[in-house]
Amino acid sequence: MYDLVLKGKFLKNGKLVEGNIGVSDGRIVRLSTGELKGEETLRTGLGKVILPGLIDVHVHLRDFRQRSKETVRTGTMAAIHGGITTVFDMPNTDPPVMDSGTFKMRAKLFRGGAYSDYALGFLLNGNCTEARRTRADFYKAFMGASTGGMFSEDFESDYSCAPGVVSVHAEDAGVIARNPERPPEAEVRAIKRALKAAEMFKKPLNVCHVSTAGGIEEILSAGLPWVSFEVTPHHLFLTRKDYEKNPLLKVYPPLRDEEQRRALWESFSRIPIIASDHAPHTPEDKENGAAGIPGLETEVALLLDAVNRGLIELPDIAEKMHVNPIRIFGIRNKGLEVGKEADFTVVDLKREWKVRPEEFYTRAKWSPWEGKKLKGKVVMTVLHGRVVMEEDEIVGKPEGVRIDAGKGNA
């Protein structure tokens, strides 16, 4: 007898099967096409699919001195609402997470405060000794300034010193200084430099929010197995034309023209990770030119809508937001396998809904897709075998825990 049995359609080896998932003590104990008996049974019903718990490897949760933008609480509630069971916390906070003391404060904030599971990041900028003594789940470097204004004085040295996967914001500081509008060249040049370093150091590098045809081409043609990259929904679904109509859409790297956007889609099958780069700001800060777009509560639905439009297939979502993040960041306790934690994102592919950001959990009460009708919705989120969100309602407590990336706990 299992604690919980989830009944319905789920993905197995990229195919939809009808069956049962047996869960005990928060972990997957059995995946079966036959009947299973549980203390409790969750029937997901017609049109719904049980996806593995989706992971967003690029999220800004602010907090510390920027609680008016977002907090660990509101940001992880937004995650759970959007069907994200694990978030990667970006360290460009105020104060930034770039010493072991601040890292400990960050860990404390998440412990007992997070509704989703989480990975903790550490910001690199000439602080090699601190980086080595802090067992973060991943490390972050900026090659050019973004929110927070900080960037590596010596990217190569920061990257080579980090004791783990380095996620990099690749926009070249020199190009930005000459061209504040950040043309594609800013990204392509930085990516070339990062790839050269990756070739030399042969250690894991993840290029954040790639937005250009040139950038993708460079990464794919280099073919380095230890280099991965992310693409955001906003770069996949929006262009500079949208920004010209709505100045809130200011973001780094900027929204590109239609040709660049199309190029992302042409390489879609080779994109390893989709991540939101959820970057909430207050309306005042946006008015004063802050860059960043909130995305946690729309990203999965946008992808489901794309499934309905025939642009992608359901297994693409699981691959780019579950399987690949787990592999790339070495997450040991996640996966749709016996023995792993029972995290699930239940979606209704047929459900139509309208984006109403005023009903979202994020403190950034706006969305580029406000008023847009989407077909496909996250209807339930399960974390460690417990339903934590159902029909837009967060049920349960902040029980998220830190991922196991083999680092031990801070």
Ligand X SMILES: NC(=O)N[C@@H](CC(=O)O)C(=O)O
> For residue 332, which phi and psi values (nearest 5 degrees)?
-90, -20
* Residue nearer to ligand X on the CB measure, 60 or 384: 60
Q: Does 146 bind Zn ion (CB under 5 A)?
A: yes
The token duo for 187 is: 């990204």
Residues tagged active-site: 277
Q: Does 277 bind ligand X (CB under 6 A)?
A: yes
* 341 Cβ neighbours under 8 A, 6+ residues apart: 26, 27, 28, 53, 117, 333, 334, 384
277, 299, 319, 343: residue in contact with Zn ion (rule CB under 5 A): 277
The partner in contact with residue 92, picked from Zn ion, ligand X, none with C-beta cut-offs of 5 to 8 angstroms by kind, is ligand X
Taking the CB of residue 183, how many other CB atoms lie within 10 A of it? Answer: 17
Q: Does 218 bind ligand X (CB under 6 A)?
A: no
Q: In angstroms, give the least distance from the CB of 280 to Zn ion.
A: 11
Q: Does 343 bind ligand X (CB under 6 A)?
A: no
Name beta bridge partners: 207: 168, 229
* Residue nearer to ligand X on the CB measure, 292 or 335: 292
User: How far is it, in rounded angstroms, from Cα 170 to Cα 225?
Assistant: 18
* Residue of minimal Cβ distance to Zn ion: 169
Q: Does 169 bind Zn ion (CB under 5 A)?
A: yes
Q: Does 279 bind ligand X (CB under 6 A)?
A: yes
What is the dihedral angle through the alpha carbons of 371, 373, 374, 375, rounded to the nearest 10 degrees? 160
Amino acid type, 328: I
Q: Left, alpha or beta for 234 (phi > 0: left; psi -120 to 50: alpha)?
A: alpha
146, 228, 345, 362: residue in contact with ligand X (rule CB under 6 A): 146
* Residue nearer to Zn ion on the CB measure, 277 or 316: 277
Q: In angstroms, give the least distance from the CB of 292 to ligand X.
A: 3
Total of chain residues touching Zn ion, rule CB under 5 A? 3
Strand order in the sheet with 84-89: 54-59, 84-89, 117-123, 138-142, 166-169, 205-207, 227-231, 273-274
CA distances from 140 to 91, 159, 164, 387 (A): 7, 9, 10, 32
β-strands 344-354, 373-383: how paired?
antiparallel
Place of tokens 């250009």: 212
Binding region for Zn ion (CB under 5 A) out of 69-77, 138-146, 224-232, 343-351:
138-146
In the annotated binding site for substrate, the residues are 60-62, 92, 281, 291-292
Q: Does 9 bind ligand X (CB under 6 A)?
A: no
Tell me if 246 sits within 8 A of 367, measured CB to CB: no
Window 234-273: contact mask with ligand X (x via CB under 6 A): -----------------xx---------------------
Restricted to residues 85-144, the positions that interact with ligand X (CB under 6 A) are: 92
Taking the CB of residue 208, how many other CB atoms lie within 10 A of it? Answer: 25
Restricted to residues 287-326, the positions that interact with ligand X (CB under 6 A) are: 291-292
Q: Does 56 bind Zn ion (CB under 5 A)?
A: no
Q: Does 147 bind ligand X (CB under 6 A)?
A: yes
Where along the sequence are the contacts to Zn ion (CB under 5 A)?
A: 146, 169, 277
